[in-house]
Structure 1
Amino acid sequence: MLSGILIFNQKGENLIFRAFRNDCRPRLADIFRIQVISNPQVRSPILTLGSTTFSHVKHENIYLVAVTKSNANAALVFEFLYRLVMLGKSYFGKFDEEAVKNNFVLVYELLDGEFFSHCFLVSYGIAVHAGGGAKVTWEQGLKEKESRQTVRAES
């Protein structure tokens, strides 16, 4: 079960903080920054401190971090993070610090809207394989919502 998702730039500035469960606090971002980003000798993509596990990948000039408090399936967590990278590339062309900053609202909507990537459904921090149509369904839902708002505005 994921407790939260964090996205940092190379300097350790927090770009995205999304808690799925109430056991993920903003101070965890500081802990990760101190333990990993400010310490270039850390090579492992998994860091466990007490009952908190940080699983991270570095892509371009950003760190994507999954925070877990329970015994999560590491393979699923990393697949989730890499799918986030693929989703960012498909939406923004390039998934880096600038793309995250320029599209942070959409990134939060993807994480909050329960549809994540074209393969995952996120609900209360649980990542579940949802088949290939989730992204398409999410985009169709946005188009339908916009068309309903346009009709109301014209009335």
Structure 2
Amino acid sequence: MTSPPRPDDAHPYLRAASAGIRHHTRTLALAEQAAEPRAVVDRTHLDVLHAHLTVLHQLLDHLTDAARPPHPAAGRHLATAYTRLWQAATAVHDAFHLLPTPHQGADGAECHPERLPEGPPVLTICQRHLASGHTIRRKTTPTDLKGPPHGHTTHHAA
């Protein structure tokens, strides 16, 4: 007799990505507790984090579209999370440009991947961010993108 599948077994890749992020977070916390020198935040860290955020953004987009017709209230909350995740990706993208490259000082580089000293990789953070930006601008108003989070008004069914 087999046990029923766990809910997270349906999404093994998402579970693996979450485990990787939890591991990285624990490693940083343990280093901090051991009074080791703080981990260096560099452009590579922020690029990888931005990649995670944009993939989560795509996932939320699909979940929001699927939830809206049968569950409009849940769809609205997921739409809010979609917008806030875009704001987080924008903040990480902005922070990326405030960090120096190995070839420059602390001034950062503008968002022109073709002019980066290391040359434009196949997919830069700027290209990824622009592609995600096109998607969110089709579904979200500029006011929503700049606004604060909406109040939480969830009512739980008994």
What TM-score bracket applies, with the shorter chain setting the length? under 0.3
Q: Which has the higher helix share?
A: 2
User: By percentage of residues, which structure has more strand?
Assistant: 1
TM-score by length of 1: 0.27
Q: Which has the higher contact order (CA 8 A, sep 6+)?
A: 1
The structure with more radius of gyration: 2
